[in-house]
C-alpha cells in the first residue's frame, strides 16, 4: 500500500509539472502572429505518416537513420510496457496483462527487449559520434555548452532506462521459479530469460526482489524525469514533429509570400485597385522579433532537433560564412524563452507591455542573414519540415524595407531594379526587345 501511494504521488507530481511546462511552451508559440496555413488534408496526413511517423527524410543519410530507427521504434513499443507499469503502480498489482494475454504477452515483451537491445547499441554509437568521432555538424559553435550536454543527457538517460528494463525483467524471470504464487509465469523472454540468470543467478529471494523493484522504479522514474525535462530539451521534437509536419506549407518551396501592403500599393499604381487611404503610421515590413513572426515559425523553432542537417547542406556555411540555419532556429527559441521567462517572473502583464530593448537582431547577426542564398537547401534537408529560410527572409525584409538598411554592395542592385526593373544597370528599358 505504501509503495502504491508513493507511486501515485510521484507520478501525479511529475505529470502536473510536465503539464505546466507544456502549457508554457504552447504560450510561447502563441507569442507569434496568427496565420492561416492553407493546405489539403490528405497531403497533411501523408506528411505526418511518412515524414514524422515514418522517418522518411531521415533516410537520405541512411546509416545514422537506421540507428535512429532502432531508438525510435523501441521508444514506441516500450510504451506498451509503460502502460502496464502505470496500471501496476496505481492498483498495486504485478504484471497486470501477463495472465490476460498469455503467449501473446511473451511475444510482445520479447519484441520490446530485442528492440531495447538494438536501441542500446544505437545509443552507444550516437554517444561516440557526438563525443569521440569528428562529425563536422556536431562541432559547430552553436552546439557548445548546454546543447551538447542536453544531447548527452538524453542518451545517458536512455541507457539508464534500459538498465531498469533488463534489471526488472531479469530478476522477475528468476522470481517466477522461486515464488510462483506472487510472480506470474510470463514464459521465456527473448533477452532476460538468459540475461537474468547470467547477471542475478545465485542471489537470494530478498535480493532478487530488491533488484526487481530497483529496475521497476528506475524505469518509471527515468520516464517521468524525461517527461518533465522534455519541454527544456531539443528532444521536444518527438512530440512536436507531428503537428509541425501537419501544418507544413504545401506551396512550392521557391514561392515567396507576397507582402499585402506592397502588393496593394503596386496594384493601385497600375490602376488595378483603389488607392490606399493616406496614413501617418509607417508600415512595418518583415519581422525583427518573435512577436512579428508567425506561430508556425515559432513552432518550427521548438521542433528543431538540432541535428545540423540544414547547416551541413547550407552552401553559405560550407564556404566558411557565418550563417548556420540550425543556429537561426536555436536563436529564435532562445528569444522566445527569454520573453516567456520575463512574463512568468511578472516583469510585464502581457507580451504587448514587455520591453527589454532587445530583438532578434541581438541574437542573430546581420552578417548571418546576408549570407543566405535562399536556395532552400536547409528546408529540403530538415527531417521534420522546418523552414529556417522563411525567418531569414522576414529579418531581411525588416532590415531593408523598414530600416532602409542593408549591405552597401546590394544598393546598386536595388537602384537598378527600381529604375529599370532589372538586376543589372542597363541603358535601355528592360522590355525594349519586345517593342520592336
Integer Cα distance of 168 and 161 in angstroms: 11
**Measured CA angle at 325 (ends 20, 339), to 5 deg:** 35
CA distance 262 to 287: 15
Residue 226 CA to residue 232 CA, distance in Å, equals 10
The distance in angstroms from the start CA to the end CA of the chain is 95
DSSP letters, 334-389, are: HHHHHHHHHHHTTS-SSGGG---S--GGGTS-HHHHHH-----HHHHH-TT---HH
Show me where the domains of the chain are located: 2-33+55-232, 235-249+282-406
Nine-digit cell string for 411: 544598393
Q: How far apart are CA 432 and CA 436, in angstroms?
A: 7
Q: How many CB atoms lie under 10 A from the CB of residue 93?
A: 13
CA 295 to chain centroid = 15
Q: Would you call 304 helix, strand, or coil by DSSP?
A: coil
With cell 517572473, the residue in question is 345
The DSSP code for 294 is B
> What are 259's three cell numbers?
507582402
pLDDT attached to residue 397: 93
Q: Give me the pLDDT at residue 418, please.
A: 76
pLDDT per residue of the chain (436 residues) written in tens, 0 to 9: 788 999 999 999 999 999 999 999 999 999 999 998 888 999 999 999 999 999 999 998 888 899 999 999 999 999 998 999 999 999 989 999 998 899 999 999 999 999 999 999 999 999 999 999 988 899 899 999 999 999 999 999 999 999 999 999 999 999 999 988 888 889 899 999 999 999 999 899 999 999 999 999 999 999 999 999 999 999 999 999 999 999 999 888 777 777 777 777 777 767 776 766 666 666 778 999 999 999 999 999 999 999 999 999 999 999 999 999 999 999 999 999 999 999 998 887 778 778 888 999 999 999 999 999 999 999 999 999 999 999 999 999 999 988 888 888 888 888 887 777 777 777 777 677 787 6
In the beta sheet, which residues pair with residue 294?
Answer: 33
Kindly report the length of the chain.
436
> What topology is assigned to 235-249+282-406 in CATH?
Fumarate Reductase Iron-sulfur Protein; Chain B, domain 2 (1.10.1060)
Question: Distance between CA 289 and CA 298 in Å, rounded?
Answer: 11
Residue 31 burial class via C-beta count within 10 angstroms: exposed 0-12, middle 13-18, buried 19 and up:
buried
Is-contact 289 355, C-beta < 8 A? no
User: Nearest Cα to 276, choosing from 289, 287, 267, 286?
Assistant: 267
The radius of gyration of the chain from alpha carbons, rounded to an integer in Å, stands at 28
Amino acid at each position: 500500500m505504501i509503495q502504491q501511494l508513493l507511486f501515485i504521488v510521484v507520478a501525479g507530481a511529475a505529470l502536473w509539472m510536465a503539464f505546466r511546462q507544456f502549457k508554457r511552451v504552447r504560450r510561447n508559440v502563441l507569442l507569434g502572429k496568427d496565420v492561416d496555413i492553407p493546405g489539403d488534408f490528405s497531403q497533411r496526413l501523408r506528411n505526418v505518416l511518412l515524414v514524422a511517423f515514418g522517418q522518411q527524410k531521415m533516410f537520405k543519410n541512411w546509416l545514422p537513420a537506421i540507428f535512429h530507427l532502432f531508438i525510435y521504434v523501441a521508444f514506441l513499443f516500450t510504451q506498451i510496457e509503460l502502460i502496464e507499469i502505470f496500471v501496476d503502480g496505481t492498483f498495486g498489482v504485478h504484471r497486470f496483462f501477463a495472465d490476460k494475454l498469455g503467449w501473446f504477452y511473451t511475444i510482445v515483451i520479447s519484441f520490446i527487449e530485442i528492440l531495447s537491445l538494438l536501441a542500446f547499441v544505437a545509443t552507444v554509437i550516437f554517444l561516440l559520434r557526438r563525443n569521440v568521432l569528428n562529425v563536422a555538424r556536431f562541432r559547430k559553435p552553436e552546439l557548445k555548452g548546454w546543447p551538447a550536454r542536453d544531447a548527452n543527457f538524453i542518451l545517458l538517460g536512455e541507457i539508464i532506462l534500459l538498465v531498469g528494463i533488463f534489471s526488472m525483467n531479469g530478476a522477475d524471470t528468476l522470481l517466477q521459479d522461486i515464488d510462483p504464487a506472487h510472480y506470474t509465469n510470463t514464459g521465456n523472454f527473448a533477452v532476460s530469460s538468459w540475461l537474468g540468470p547470467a547477471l542475478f543467478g545465485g542471489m537470494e529471494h530478498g535480493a532478487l526482489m530488491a533488484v526487481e523493484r530497483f529496475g521497476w522504479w528506475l524505469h518509471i522514474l527515468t520516464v517521468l524525469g524525461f517527461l518533465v525535462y522534455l519541454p527544456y530539451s531539443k528532444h521536444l521534437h518527438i512530440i512536436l514533429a507531428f503537428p509541425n509536419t501537419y501544418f507544413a506549407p504545401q506551396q512550392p518551396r521557391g514561392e515567396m509570400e507576397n507582402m499585402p501592403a506592397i502588393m496593394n500599393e503596386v496594384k493601385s499604381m497600375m490602376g488595378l485597385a483603389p488607392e490606399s487611404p493616406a496614413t501617418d503610421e509607417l508600415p512595418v515590413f518583415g519581422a525583427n522579433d518573435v512577436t512579428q513572426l508567425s506561430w508556425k515559425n515559432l513552432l518550427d523553432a521548438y521542433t528543431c532537433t538540432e541535428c545540423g542537417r540544414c547547416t551541413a547542406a547550407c552552401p553559405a556555411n560550407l564556404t566558411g560564412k557565418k550563417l548556420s540555419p540550425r543556429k537561426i532556429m536555436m536563436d529564435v527559441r532562445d528569444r522566445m524563452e527569454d520573453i516567456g521567462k520575463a512574463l512568468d517572473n511578472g516583469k510585464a502583464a502581457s507580451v504587448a507591455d514587455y520591453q527589454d530593448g532587445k530583438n532578434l537582431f541581438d541574437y542573430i547577426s546581420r552578417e548571418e542573414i546576408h549570407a543566405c542564398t535562399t536556395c532552400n537547401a536547409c528546408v529540403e534537408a530538415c527531417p521534420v519540415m522546418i523552414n529556417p529560410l522563411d525567418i531569414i527572409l522576414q529579418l531581411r525584409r525588416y532590415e531593408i524595407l523598414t530600416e532602409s538598411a542593408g549591405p552597401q554592395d546590394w544598393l546598386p542592385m536595388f537602384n537598378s531594379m527600381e529604375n529599370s526593373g532589372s538586376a543589372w544597370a542597363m541603358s535601355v528599358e528592360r522590355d525594349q526587345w519586345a517593342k520592336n
